């Protein structure tokens, strides 16, 4: 093996190979699963200021074993074909793990969003969407984008509007061409927080495993665990917020582009998010100290390290410094495959991206289903359940001779709203998938880490689809 650092795609492929040997699947089949099925590389001009700029962009559909394909669109100056291919492949395995019936895809536009005005970003997004429409690389039954690093619901609304301008008149399900949309534009409540919330559910489930915690010298349960977060974007901020508020986790350090801050007694995440929103930086947050070297987030002793930014953050050159007991991959591909070897040797447990950050695509799936059904979740049954619960309370009151206050009754009887159902579906998915991976790890003695167990779980499902579909002659 050369000493050259593996590319992101090579790193994913190596992890794949490491797992494939445990599946017993024929080589031809694993080769087919591994390959990217379609790669669309494009260049298009966009009017910027008084001139034009040629924009480089991609959409990769990794696997067509299920339709549509699904995956976010990233806006970043680091976008390249290798990165988008790696991310598309991860989407295939991610969807399989959480039983979301899509193939994997990913898009990337090589722009730094901070360097453009909103009007310029809108032109770039709309033009990119037109390129996808032209090549039939977008549509509710074809390929469904979503937000990723550097994009959010604003961009998804532009994609929807552009798609509907061209196709809306003839396609009744056109709203399902993209997910992560604003709620008033056919989005779903609970999508924005979904990846971070899924990260919390996944970590909570893992920390509830008594034997696993014992091996690490930790007490069971997520409550009181210390956490370091790298990246306070959408995923990192919601993962931190929910871990603190619902799990009782103590977040002792946060790293961002501007620097790293720390407080051993815990940083209050809602206040920190508000502080960054008003000042544009995490530095100077009350009761925090700023690390001299911002890169030292990696060296902080903690129970859980949460890389929630970009890929390849923990590499061969810095993996030795990690002092965390658990790494939760909230980002996609934050650990390179050679760094992983070092971390596993040190006894650090890695909860892999393809499972841990799958909450986003899970709720995207719910949004897509909502779009196809043209109705909000809960609309049909909320009142019915509420009335039934009220009847039940009245019966109990009659039988016991005791009464509840009107407020208590309303609270107990309340029927589920859309956001309640989304959270419940997400929790069920993350818990269920955790045990699928955990069972693979426990039953297969030769598998010793969660990533390989997750890969094997995913590969068997994708392989099963290919085998039952057969190969079109
Ligand atoms: N970009 C997110 C991911 O990496 C979400 C993808 C989606 O919702 O389709 O999982």
What are 242-301's pLDDT values in tens digits? 999 999 999 999 999 999 999 999 999 999 999 999 999 999 999 999 999 999 999 999
- The reported pLDDT for the residue numbered 87 is 98
Q: How confident is the model at residue 470 (pLDDT cuts 50, 70, 90)?
A: confident
Ligand 1 centroid from CA 61, angstroms: 13
Q: Is the pTM of this model over 0.85?
A: yes
- pLDDT tens digits along 91-100: 999 999 999 9
Q: What is the position in ligand 1's atom list of the atom closest to the CA of 102? A: 9
Q: From atom 7 of ligand 1, which residue's Cα is the shortest distance away?
A: 361
Q: How confident is the model at residue 472 (pLDDT cuts 50, 70, 90)?
A: low
- The reported pLDDT for the residue numbered 2 is 47
**Average pLDDT of the chain?**
97
Res. 176: pLDDT tops 90: yes
Cβ atoms < 10 Å from Cβ of 77: 12
Residue with tokens 């495993």: 209
Residue 323 DSSP class: -
Res. 3: pLDDT tops 60: no
Ligand 1 centroid from CA 385, angstroms: 33
- pLDDT tens digits along 357-366: 999 999 999 9
Distance CA 356, CA 358 (A): 6
DSSP class per residue in 331-388: SSS-B-HHHHHHHHHTT-EEE-HHHHTTHHHHHHHHHHHHHHHTS-TTTTTHHHHHHH
Q: What is the CATH number of domain 36-185?
A: 3.40.50.10860
Q: What is the position in ligand 1's atom list of the atom closest to the CA of 148? A: 1
Ligand 1 centroid from CA 71, angstroms: 5
Contact of 272 with 232, CB cutoff 8 Å:
yes
Report, as an integer, the average pLDDT of 314-335: 98
Res. 391: pLDDT tops 50: yes
- Ligand 1 binding pocket includes 361 (Cβ within 6 Å): yes
Q: At what angle do helices 450-469 and 418-443 cross, to 10 degrees?
A: 100
Ligand 1 centroid from CA 222, angstroms: 25
- Ligand 1 binding pocket includes 179 (Cβ within 6 Å): yes
Res. 33: pLDDT tops 80: yes
- Ligand 1 binding pocket includes 71 (Cβ within 6 Å): yes
- pLDDT tens digits along 101-152: 999 999 999 999 999 999 999 999 999 999 999 999 999 999 999 999 999 9
Mutate to test the pocket of ligand 1, among 140, 195, 199, 202 (most ligand atoms within 8 A of CB): 195
Q: What is the position in ligand 1's atom list of the atom closest to the CA of 144? A: 9
Selected catalytic residue, list 70, 94, 106, 181: 106
Res. 471: pLDDT tops 80: no
Whether 106 sits among the annotated catalytic residues: the reply is: yes
- Provide the sign of the torsion angle of the four alpha carbons 166, 172, 177, 183, taken in this order: positive
Ligand 1 centroid from CA 287, angstroms: 35
Ligand 1 centroid from CA 107, angstroms: 10
As a whole-number percent, the residues of the chain with pLDDT over 90 amount to 97
Report, as an integer, the average pLDDT of 200-221: 98
- Ligand 1 binding pocket includes 72 (Cβ within 6 Å): yes
Candidates 358, 306, 360; CA nearest to 147 is 360
- The reported pLDDT for the residue numbered 447 is 98
Contact of 156 with 179, CB cutoff 8 Å:
yes
Ligand 1 centroid from CA 91, angstroms: 7
Mutate to test the pocket of ligand 1, among 330, 361, 370 (most ligand atoms within 8 A of CB): 361
- Ligand 1 binding pocket includes 458 (Cβ within 6 Å): no
Q: How confident is the model at residue 1 (pLDDT cuts 50, 70, 90)?
A: very low
- Ligand 1 binding pocket includes 360 (Cβ within 6 Å): yes
Domain positions in the chain are 36-185, 382-415
Report, as an integer, the average pLDDT of 460-464: 96
- Ligand 1 binding pocket includes 156 (Cβ within 6 Å): no
Q: What is the position in ligand 1's atom list of the atom closest to the CA of 361? A: 8
As a whole-number percent, the residues of the chain with pLDDT over 70 amount to 99
Report, as an integer, the average pLDDT of 443-447: 96
């Amino acid at each position: 093996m050369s000493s050259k650092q593996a590319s992101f795609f090579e790193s994913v492929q190596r992890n794949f190979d490491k797992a494939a040997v445990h599946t017993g699947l024929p080589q031809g089949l694993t080769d087919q699963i591994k390959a990217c099925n379609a790669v669309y590389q494009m260049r298009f001009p966009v009017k910027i200021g008084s001139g034009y700029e040629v924009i480089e962009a991609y959409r990769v559909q990794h696997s067509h074993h299920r339709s549509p394909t699904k995956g976010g669109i990233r806006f970043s100056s680091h976008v390249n074909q290798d990165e988008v291919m790696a991310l598309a492949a991860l989407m295939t395995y991610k969807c399989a793990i959480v039983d979301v019936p899509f193939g994997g895809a990913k898009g990337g536009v090589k722009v730094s969003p901070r360097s453009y005005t909103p009007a310029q970003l809108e032109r770039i997004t709309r033009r990119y969407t037109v390129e996808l429409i032209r090549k039939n690389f977008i549509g509710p039954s074809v390929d469904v984008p979503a937000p990723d690093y550097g994009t959010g619901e604003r961009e998804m609304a532009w994609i929807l509007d552009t798609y509907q301008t061209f196709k809306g008149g003839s396609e009744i399900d056109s709203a399902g061409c993209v997910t992560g949309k604003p709620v008033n534009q056919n989005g779903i409540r609970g999508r924005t927080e979904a990846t971070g919330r899924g990260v919390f559910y996944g970590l909570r489930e893992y920390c509830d495993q008594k034997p696993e915690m014992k091996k690490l010298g930790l007490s069971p349960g997520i409550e009181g665990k210390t956490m370091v977060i790298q990246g306070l974007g959408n995923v990192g901020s919601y993962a931190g917020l929910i871990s603190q508020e619902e799990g009782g986790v103590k977040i002792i350090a946060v790293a961002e582009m501007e620097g790293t801050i720390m407080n051993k007694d815990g940083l209050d995440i809602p206040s920190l998010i508000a502080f960054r929103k008003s000042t544009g930086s995490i530095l100077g947050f009350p009761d925090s100290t700023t690390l001299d070297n911002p890169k030292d987030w990696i060296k902080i002793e903690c129970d859980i390290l949460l890389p929630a930014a970009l890929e390849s953050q923990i590499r061969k050159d810095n993996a030795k410094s990690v002092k965390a007991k658990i790494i939760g991959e909230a980002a996609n591909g934050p650990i390179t495959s050679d760094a992983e070897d070092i971390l596993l040797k040190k006894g650090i447990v890695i909860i892999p991206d393809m499972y841990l950050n799958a909450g986003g695509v899970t709720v995207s799936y719910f949004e897509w289903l909502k779009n196809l059904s043209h109705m909000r979740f809960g609309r049909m049954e909320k009142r019915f359940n509420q009335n039934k619960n009220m009847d039940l309370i009245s019966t109990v009151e009659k039988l016991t001779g005791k009464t509840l206050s009107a407020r208590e009754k309303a609270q107990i009887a309340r029927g589920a709203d859309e956001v309640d159902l989304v959270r419940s579906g997400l929790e069920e998915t993350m818990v269920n998938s955790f045990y699928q991976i955990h069972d693979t790890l426990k039953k297969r003695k030769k598998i010793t880490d969660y990533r390989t167990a997750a890969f094997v779980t995913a590969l068997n499902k994708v392989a099963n689809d290919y085998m039952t579909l057969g190969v079109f002659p």
